[in-house]
Structure 1
Amino acid sequence: MSTWRDIILADFREPVPPLSLVADPDHLLLDEILLSSLKDIQVEFIQYGDPVAFRYLFESRYRKVLEERTLRLLVQVNDVPLEQMPYDLLQMGRKLTYRMQTIFPKLSPQVVKQLDARDLDDLYAVYGQYQGSASHGETCDFILRRVFKVAYDMIDDETELVKYLLSKHYRQKQYPEVIESYLIEQLQRKKELNKLPLAELVKSPSFFYSYLQNQWIEYLQTLQEQPMASKEVGLQDGIYGKGKTHPFADEDVYRLLDNLFIEGYLKPVEGINSEHLPQWTHVGLVTDPSLDHKNRLAGLMANLKEKLQAIGNYRDWMNVVPLYGEIKDLILYTNLDQDENILGEVKAIEAGLDAQFELWMIRNYGNLQNLPYLPRPVMLHQVPHYIASKRHAKAAMVVLDGMSYVQWVQIRKYLQTKSFTFEEQSVFAWAPSITSISRQALFYGEMPVYFPHTLGTTRKEEAAWKLFWENHDVFKAYTGYEKSLGRKEGAYQSPDSLQKPSLKVLGLVIDTIDNLVHTALQGQHGLYSELKLWLEKGYLTGLLADLINKGFEVYLTSDHGNKESRGIGRIPEGVLAETRGERVRIYKDKMLRDKAAAAYSSMAWPGPGLPEDVHILLAKSGEAFIQEGENVVSHGGISLEEVVVPFIHITSNNNLKRF
């Protein structure tokens, strides 16, 4: 079956010239499948951005091989017209242009260009059936109905709205802003809906789940007041008025609730007597805590297994990692791994997951660095670009160095008790997952290949951070950076950088978790306990509240995660390795790296996005280059826990109303 990608790939049939300069204003080339297809036919892809950085990369890596015709290179050009590219490149290469309007001429280009690649696939499949005009409204209507399968004219009461939103938010389906706004406008015309906070409910998963949690508590309380009428089915005439079925009494709704409670989107309610309530409500009640935990763990593992069978692209891993984090957090919280049967099943799932993720990383990780950062970032170095695109009056990026998704689940549960809400995403850290590479990429806003001279240190982070924002029209005097936060004992004290009211952008590094990781003698159980004590001291909640009260939009992320591993023995190489980590070793000489890879249980990592003279040796999943038999919590590898990290927009929920 043909796709829109075939139109582009037709220009790369043999013979392919060495250099192709491609104007791509709609970012059509930034598609995981297309980039993989180009890679399969030995066409390398780079982007033309900063002229100085591009020239360095081109001269050091590509000019010679292009002149020798031993490589084929595609350069994507967005920010300047092709005619303004450097003269020597124009002389060497052919010029191509791809536009969305060429592929979908009957639709509004302003709407279509906001769709991601998966949506373009679905649109291309039904585009031949379109009979409307190129107007904004008709294009939005067609895409909503035929691409996103939303029959919005059928959403005419609260029950239908809740069913639709449950489906949208649980499946983490994001619409382009222009289409989302069109949908909200159409729903606001419905008499039964126009008193609800539709914009917030449609746009924000966290708002919707908070709203649903409040409604769930009210529903249970109402059921308790009418036990005889509610024992079998649930309350039919609900708080919305006589003759109207409460959304939770709708069979389609309460079937969808199970996974929300299992996966932690909704919290079971304490203090409700389940004796006179329908059986289906019990998943949302605290009845027998010990049995509830076991049942929830079984549900989480079943859901994880199901998701792992359907892995296709990076988004699927982004959907898996929160579920995996919930499983690990539940085990650490309840000590369920003391049961040998449960421990064995969890270890088997973890081993299978790590093997599957490692294989996926080897095949696909190199394509991620070229994907767009909108509508959401994919890799860590894109996070500053994403924040800059929001044009906040004041923005703060708080980096919890070393935080994996497992620790984020623990932190999130604590922050929820302190009136914070979140919009959760995840991003891929840089591999190898060590601070000097991945955190630097975050503060540079660049791939590591562009900062080869500081790859082993973080001393240039502040200068890189301020330069990034200066290039985005924020003067250095208005940009702050501070690291090594969260170490002091006692109550929270505002960082020095927050004492400057003129600051518009802040980058803050809290290295508490990374320090706890490297001193975790009792493994992840010990780390869990130490993190709990640190959270209770109030530094993080104090900092977040301080930032929000001073008008900052607050984003929380991590430079890498961590993994508990067992030692396989040290590699006795002395000074031959430039970096000797517990799960990674870095060499300047490829032959030395390959020799070590052949001699020890390890893997040679190809190093996409790294300088050419950096050669990586990684420990295998669950293993570390330390004394044989010792346990350690560390990082540097390419396991899911180390690579896919949280990226969170944090807000206060003081303004959340009960509707």
Structure 2
Amino acid sequence: MSVWTDRILQEFPADLSRFWIALDPDGLLLDERILHGLRERGFEVLPFEDAVSFRTEYEERYRAAWDTGREGTAKALVLQLRGTDLNSLPWDYIRSARTLNLSLADLFPKLSYGVVRQIDSEHHEALFQACKKHAAQPLGEGATKDFILTHIFRLSPYLLNRPEDFWREVLRLHYRGTGLPELLAQHVATVLRDTPLGTLPIVELLSSKTDMVRAVQDAWCGFLAQHGVRTEGSAGVRESSERAAITVPFDHPDVRVIIDTMFLEGVLQPVEVDQLPAELPGWIKVGLIGDPRALSHLVSEGAKRIAADLPAIDASHRDWVEAARRLAELIYRFNELKAADADSLQVQIQALQNDADGRLREWVFQHFADLPSLPVAKSPVMVHHVPRYLAMRRSAGEDRIALLVFDGLALDQWVQIREDLSARTPEFSVDEGGCFAWLPTLTSISRQALFSGLKPREFQSSMDTTSQEPSLWTRFWQEHGLRKPEVIFQKGLKRSEQLAALEENLSKPTTKVAGIVVDMIDEIVHGAMLGKRGVAGQIREWCDTGFIEKLFLMLTQHGYHIYLTADHGNVDAEGIGRLSQGVVSELKGERVRAYRSEDLASSVPPEIDAFQFGSPGLPADFLPLYANERGAFVPKGNKIVAHGGMALEELIVPFVKIRMKKEEHATDSTSNRI
């Protein structure tokens, strides 16, 4: 247990009270480590977001048991209030609970509260320890920014005198997955304003990995041209004079070593070349595809690096989203290989996938219960957080929002679509992110959670169908201030000829929010005969129809802010035997079955390789049984593409903001990065 975690947990002595109220304006309790530590002590944390839903859960799962002398779901319940107004709570809660206050201002008394509250919770522990060692006196706003930059991000803007110094720090920050908060990035930009580096878009490069990658990818093409490398057409070069003017000192050793890794792991895309100069330095070839074996080598080396750096059992959810992204980039490249090259790497890729899935399963058993309660202000952690996040974006000025749910879209398939759009549509860019689907990763469960903003046990009467999605989507937005005519929902979208009817609804001035299900990926997956590599080929053909960019452009032209996600991904799976149980199984999927009692779940034949995991958020009498590893409940040896389980490619899905054209709504300059 860390010093920081201990400091928070000491506020909750065991056996002192069953019911607690924590006035927590900074969301300190909604940190993965804190939630896990409290759960180990028998405490359950329940954020107070809606009075009706909180009371329902409190009465049914906790108070009813306590009143009869039973322990119930947990030994103690903590009501987490994101504020300081105790009087906003019902009187019977206040009367029966023990109340405490938690605040960053109290925990970091020597630092500027306005600055500290902009720092992600993952940095609180390191900052707490740094303060104990190095903060001898109270610091003002500017000094606090310098203190955090120095002790947390290991960066001093006053020492960035040369381009190689600046780019080394930019690449190092994003490679570690810790871009600067915008407040700190602006501070660095202010310090560097009157230096030769001041002409760079410093805030964007330091705070947004997406902007950094775009700039470096474009600069790479310019760097190759300087060395006489002829590329095929204009691959990778975007029509942006601002980014085209950026140069990166790729040949400096400190920069080169990180660039090399970014190419190997798929963050940067190698460029296809027509002709190589005879005297070209050997290290440059990592970012080139000059012979048929170059991409195969990249895939193999990338797989080795990812395998050596998979998250451990104590990793954060952010670590797993980043791992899923890296694996997705690799699988996309693998699927682009010729059949013979792919066959030679098949064993290596499968070993990496199995290792990642095994580690994720261990992590899920310990930490999945913490995810539903995590804060969503910066981005959704789970799919049911998405509506609430979008409501926050509307409050921040994004008046019209379109949520595109690509049913069944795995992260690697999103990478394929992204790269296709990048090549054919210069106006396209994207803010990348990811979130967790609900377990089991079935459409009727995870997609309903996505559109309703609810946990599955809150819509248990419709867990086996998607027919309630339109009403759930509309109800959420009505509860957030919109009228029914201002909300639309459409599913079954997959072809260009359907766009005219959609546009008729989107173009109405009254429409403010659109929920749109794009079904093509799911249709392709369920008809797949040649595995995920075959699926990739069909997605390529679908992209060639122009449907996706037409949809994005149409939404942009009507002023919508576009967010894209999925309800679950998909995997290559192999049959472990069919379960012929008639109506015993409540819900049937190829990778998961669900039962209403332990007795029914135990009726599964022992030769079937499967395991149980009842994730929090599901009804108490809903017991999922998962096929082990990448198995499926189909005849032995049959190979299919399926979903429902907890493999990395099923469980973590894209959540991205789509941008078309350079101009953006004025509110975008202040919007949160995903």
**TM-score for the superposition, normalised by structure 1:** 0.91
Is 1:22 the counterpart of 2:22? The answer is yes
Q: Secondary structure at the match of 1:302?
A: helix
Helix, strand or coil for the counterpart of 2:603?
helix
Residues 493-532 of structure 1: pairs in structure 2 closer than 5 A: 494-532=502-540
Corresponding residue for 2:668? Answer: none
Map 1:128-527 → 2, pairs under 5 A:
128=132, 129-187=134-192, 189-224=193-228, 247-269=249-271, 270-288=273-291, 290-308=292-310, 312-335=315-338, 341-390=344-393, 391=396, 392-417=398-423, 418-419=425-426, 420-487=428-495, 494-527=502-535
Q: Is the 8 A contact 1:331 1:337 kept in 2?
A: no
Give how far 1:522 is off: 2.0
CA drift at 1:180: 2.8
Quote the Cα distance in structure 1 between the aligned partners of 2:538 and 2:227.
Answer: 41
Question: Taking structure 1 as reference, are residues 102 and 291 closer, same or farther at Cα in structure 2, changes over 3 Å only?
Answer: same
SS of residue matched to 1:247: coil
**Stretch deviating more after TM superposition (275-284 or 471-480):** 471-480
Does 1:78 pair with 2:82? yes
User: How much has 1:157 moved relative to structure 2?
Assistant: 3.4
Q: Distance in 1 between matches of 2:530 and 2:114?
A: 55
573-582 vs 3-12, which moves further: 3-12
Compare 29-38 and 79-88 and name the one that shifted more: 79-88
Give, in whole Å, the separation in 2 of the partners of 1:211 and 1:346. Answer: 30
CA 582–46 in structure 1, closer or farther in 2 if over 3 Å, else same: same
C-alpha contact (below 8 Å) 1:132/1:138 kept by paired residues: no
Identical-residue share of aligned pairs (%): 33
Structure 1 gaps of 5+ residues are 226-238
Do the aligned residues in 2 keep the contact of 1:260 with 1:266 (CA within 8 Å)?
A: yes
- Aligned counterpart, 2:126: 122
CA–CA separation in structure 1 for the residues paired with 2:441 and 2:504: 29
Where 2:516 maps in the other structure, the secondary structure is strand
Deviations 1:594-645 (CA, angstroms, capped at 9, x unpaired): 3338563211112211122222111112111112221111111111010001
Q: Name the Cα RMSD after superposition.
A: 2.5
Structure 1 residue aligned with 2:542: 534
CA distance in structure 2 between the aligned counterparts of 1:272 and 1:171, rounded to whole angstroms = 34
Alpha-carbon deviation of 1:545? 1.3
* 1:524-554, Cα deviation, whole Å (9 max, x unpaired): 1221122111111111111011112222221
Q: In the superposition, relative to structure 1, how do residues 205 and 338 fare at CA in structure 2: closer, same or farther (>3 Å)?
A: closer
Q: 1:638 matched to which residue of 2?
A: 646
1:83 CA displacement:
3.4
Q: Is the 1:384–1:445 contact (alpha carbons within 8 Å) kept by the matching residues of 2?
A: yes
- Compute the displacement of 1:475 (Å): 3.1
Question: Closer, same or farther in 2 for the Cα pair 1:145/1:378, shift >3 Å?
Answer: same
Shift of the alpha carbon at 1:367?
0.9
Letter in 1 for 2:417: I
Supply the distance in 2 between the matched residues of 1:603 and 1:310 (Cα, whole angstroms): 21
Return closer, same or farther for 1:87/1:111 CA change in 2, 3 Å cut-off.
Answer: same
Aligned in 2, Cα 1:529/1:214: closer, same or farther, shift over 3 Å? Answer: closer
Indicate the residue corresponding to 1:93 in structure 2. Answer: 97
- Give how far 1:335 is off: 3.8
Residues 115 and 591 (structure 1 numbering): CA distance in 2 closer, same or farther, change over 3 Å? farther
Q: Distance in 2 between matches of 1:596 and 1:401?
A: 30
How far 1:318 sits from its partner (Å)? 1.0
Does the CA-based 8 Å contact 2:127-2:148 persist in structure 1? yes
**Structure 2 stretches lacking a partner, 5+ long:** 230-242, 665-674
Residue identity matched to 2:299: L
Could you tell me whether the CA contact under 8 Å between 1:321 and 1:405 is conserved in 2? Answer: yes
1:610 match: 618
Cα distance in structure 1, aligned partners of 2:76 and 2:248? 61
C-alpha separation in 2, matches of 1:381 and 1:293: 38
Letter in 2 for 1:414: D
Matched, 1:38 2:38: yes
2:598 is equivalent to residue 590 of structure 1:
yes
Task: Report the 3-state secondary structure (helix = DSSP H, G, I; strand = E; otherwise coil) of the residue aligned with 2:206.
Answer: helix
Contact 1:492-1:538 within 8 A present in 2 as well: no
**Against the structure 1 CA distance between its residues 402 and 495, is the aligned structure 2 distance closer, same or farther, given a 3 Å change threshold?**
farther
Shift of 1:135: 2.7
Given that residues 430 and 657 in structure 2 are in contact (C-alpha distance below 8 angstroms), is that contact kept between their aligned partners in structure 1?
A: yes
In the aligned structure 2, how far is the partner of 1:592 from the partner of 1:28? 41
Find the aligned partners of 2:248 and 2:607 in 1 and give their Cα distance. Answer: 65
TM-score between both structures, scaled by the size of structure 2: 0.89
2:337 is aligned with what amino acid?
A: T
2:488 aligned counterpart, secondary structure? strand
> Match of 1:519, as an amino acid?
G
Deviates more, 1:200-209 or 1:113-122: 200-209
Per-residue deviation, 1:336 = 5.0
Number of corresponding residues: 638
Name the aligned partner's letter for residue 329 of structure 1.
Y
Give the 3 Å change call, closer, same or farther, for CA 81–453 of structure 1 in structure 2: farther
Report how far residue 562 of structure 1 moved: 0.7
**Aligned residue number for residue 107 of structure 1:** 111
Residue matched to 1:232: none
3-state SS in 1 of match to 2:289 = coil
Q: What's the counterpart of residue 228 of structure 1?
A: none
| Counterparts in 2 of 1:295 and 1:357: CA distance versus 1, 3 Å | same
Rounded to whole Å, the distance in 2 between the matches of 1:456 and 1:318 is 28
